[in-house]
Amino acid sequence: MCGIAGIIGAFETYQLDAMLLSQHHRGPDATGKYIDRDFAALGHNRLAIIDLSPASNQPFLDPSGRYVLVFNGEIYNYIELKTEMKGLYSFKTDSDTEVLLASFLVYGHDCLQKLNGMFSFAIWDNQDKKLFAARDRFGVKPFFYCTEKDSFYFSSEIKAIHAAGISRIPFEKVWASYFAYGSYGNPDETFWEEILQLPGGHFLEFQNQQLVLKKWYFFEDEVAKQPKNLTFEQAKEHYVVLLKDSINLRFRADVPIGFNISGGLDSSVLLALVNVQEDNSKINGYTFYTNNPDYDELPWVEMMIAKTKNPLTKVLLQVEDVPDFAQKMEGQQDEPYGGIPTLAYAKIFEQARKDNVLVLLDGQGMDEQWAGYDYYTQENDATIQGVMDSPFKINLLSDSFLEKAEKPNYPKPFVDAILNKQYRDLFYTKIPRALRFNDRISMLFSTELREPFLDYRLVEFAFSLPLDFKIKNGTTKFMLREIASEYLANDLAFAPKRPLQTPQREWLAEDLKNWVKECFSTVEKSKYGVWFDKAALEKELELYFGGTIQSSFHIWQCISLYEMIQNIN
């Protein structure tokens, strides 16, 4: 896990230095640069996870010196790929980095289809003066870019492009859509003007000032290729084989590995299969709590861990931690994020780094592939679990700002409405947001997060299964629960879904009331105050403090804007 940065075209070396310094937290183990004078500058921040030797530092050159790679992520099946290319390339390291570059040299663009991993990378051809860059199927690892005059900038974090001298100007269309509809932008957008992101499953080429983007991962086609007419038992057996292999692949590391755990089904399955690994007694579990029994899942977690005997580290988020930690988090996130639950989750990575556990696994991705949210079977366009009223407050916005908002219109490539909702959540809403938040909080503390349930083989297969394998007699994720029941007690395997929560609503309305008032007041007095109907904003805050707290999303939106203002200034 690392940070990449580069400038193609006109540049000054100090710009690359500033980019690398701004994202040093992504890779504190080594910093490297490659300069192709007057053409390209590539840089890398390394967090050493596989093959810890300096020989695997980046930028990484092929034996001829023609191709230069900077790479962020992990290629989990690098051992198999290395065996496949035996005799076609002479390897000098034990790293997945070299396997990635070799696969590009051997297979060209088709190498992407062979990779099982999370990745964003760029390869500079210093003979043809051409850049090739690609991002993994679901966009687990980030790739931001900007074209400014005669130069092309790219990086792992938005702040790195700003550090190179690109102006930090809010993209009002995305901000307006966020406030009006809860949208975090399309797959190619960010909250900042001029800065775009390469969508997951796409690659780009840049040569002679010409930028070309192409899609390389076609999910619908892959779903159509999945085995058909399997019985329930056959499908379950096949999924378990894939699931175990996915977790095995993600245990490949030369540093200590732990896992995140909540009290839900997905974490339960992860816990069970982690303990299929050899010598599992040393695999640490991490969970957060807030000392609020209405929200904490600690009793469920402790009950689960009591059966497996894994060491468990419990990390406390206290209400007084929130204001300072929120400001630090906004400075890292560069864009709005998911509120106090994200802060609580970040505390886990902070503690893991202190414990020298540099890789953590978590259970992201099961709800989307197994239709686990309550709204999948409801006739609406909801994207939030367990909320009756809309959390979006369009009445707070000024007419001129609201005009800039665009209501999201997501593709519907499948005939079935539930499949289209799953597709939306995988590629446009739930997963992109979670991956974005999670990449930035793990990297803030120089740790690596791996999501074994987002192995593309699992997602494609589960997605393709009949609906009654997923939802049966009102029970969601039915087949997954059947699998879990073979490892866990039924009270865990068939427990109802509980959203991973913190007392955000109560804290913002009560304990943090004065801080929230300060945030709203600062927003109103700033130049961004024109985005709002100030009377409506004050009325909504009054209602919230008066007890209308079913949703706190609109409150957190204003806090996010407040933190952005602080970081701009």
Residue 404 lies in a domain: no
- Is residue 50 helix, strand or coil? coil
What separation in angstroms does the CA of 457 have from each of 131, 246, 360, 463?
29, 9, 21, 10
- In which domain, by residue range, is 460 found? 225-378+435-493
Identify whether residues 467 and 330 lie together within a single domain: yes
Number of neighbouring beta carbons within 10 Å of residue 142 = 24
pLDDT tens digits for range 396-437: 999 999 999 999 999 999 999 999 999 999 999 999 999 999
Task: Kindly state whether residues 29 and 178 are assigned to the same domain.
Answer: yes
Angle at 172 between CA 4 and CA 22, to 5 degrees: 25
Whether 252 and 314 map to the same domain: the answer is yes
Q: Is residue 413 part of a domain?
A: no
Is 96 known as a binding-site position? yes
Look at the chain and report how many structural domains it folds into: 3
Split at pLDDT 50, 70, 90, the class of 378 is confident
**Percent residues over pLDDT 90 in the chain:** 81
CA of 172: how far to CAs of 177, 192, 267, 286, 513, in Å?
8, 8, 38, 38, 28
Q: Residues 147, 277: one domain?
A: no
Examine residue 310 and state whether it is found in any structural domain, yes or no.
Answer: yes
Within this chain, do residues 16 and 148 fall inside the same structural domain, yes or no?
yes
Residues 251 and 166 in one domain: no
Are residues 289 and 298 in contact, defined by beta-carbon separation less than 8 angstroms? Answer: yes
Distance CA 135, CA 119 (A): 6
Does a structural domain hold residue 384?
no
| Calculated CA dihedral for residues 450, 451, 456, 462, nearest 10 degrees | 160
Residues 236 and 361 in one domain: yes
Q: How confident is the model over 442-453, as a mean pLDDT?
A: 97
pLDDT of residue 499: 54
The answer to whether the CB of 277 falls within 8 A of the CB of 244 is: no
Considering the entire predicted model, what is its pTM? 0.95
Establish how many alpha carbons lie within 13 A of residue 377's alpha carbon, considering only the half-sphere containing its beta carbon: 15
DSSP state of 496: P
Residues 16-19: contacts with CB under 8 Å, at least 24 apart = 16/41, 16/42, 16/43, 16/164, 17/43, 18/160, 18/163, 18/164, 18/165, 19/43, 19/153, 19/155, 19/160, 19/161, 19/163, 19/164
Contact present, 475 and 381 (Cβ < 8 Å): no
- Domain boundary among the residues 217, 235, 251 is at 217
Mean pLDDT, residues 287-301? 91
Residues with a known catalytic role: 2
Query: What is the tens place of the pLDDT at every residue in 220-249?
Result: 999 999 999 999 999 999 999 999 999 999
The domain boundary residue, chosen from 163, 188, 217: 217
Examine the domain organization and report whether 122 and 251 are in the same domain: no
CB of 123 closer than 8 Å to CB of 417: no
Residues 89 and 157 in one domain: yes
Q: Is 455 helix (H, G, I), strand (E, B) or coil?
A: coil
Q: How confident is the model at residue 494 (pLDDT cuts 50, 70, 90)?
A: low
Q: Which of 458, 249, 465, 260 is CA-nearest to residue 349?
A: 260
Rg (CA), the chain: 23
Q: Can you tell me whether residue 154 is helix, strand or coil?
A: strand
Mind giving me the DSSP string for 202-218?
Answer: EEEEEETTEEEEEE---
Percentage of residues in the chain with pLDDT exceeding 70?
95
Asked, for residue 103, whether it belongs to a domain, the answer is yes
| Arithmetic mean of pLDDT, 149-175 | 95
pLDDT of residue 384: 63
My answer on whether 58 and 176 are in the same domain is yes
Q: In this structure, is residue 390 part of a structural domain?
A: no
pLDDT of residue 306: 85
The mean per-residue pLDDT over the stretch 121-133 comes to 98
- Domain check: are 210 and 347 in the same one? no
Is residue 397 included in any domain, yes or no? no
Q: For residue 483, what is the domain's CATH number?
A: 3.40.50.620
Q: Are residues 157 and 254 in the same domain?
A: no
* End-of-domain residue from the set 169, 201, 217: 217
DSSP string, 497-518: P-----SHHHHHHTTTHHHHHH
In a domain, 345, yes or no: yes
Predicted confidence (pLDDT) per residue in 317-369, tens digit: 999 999 999 999 988 999 999 999 999 999 999 999 999 999 999 999 999 99
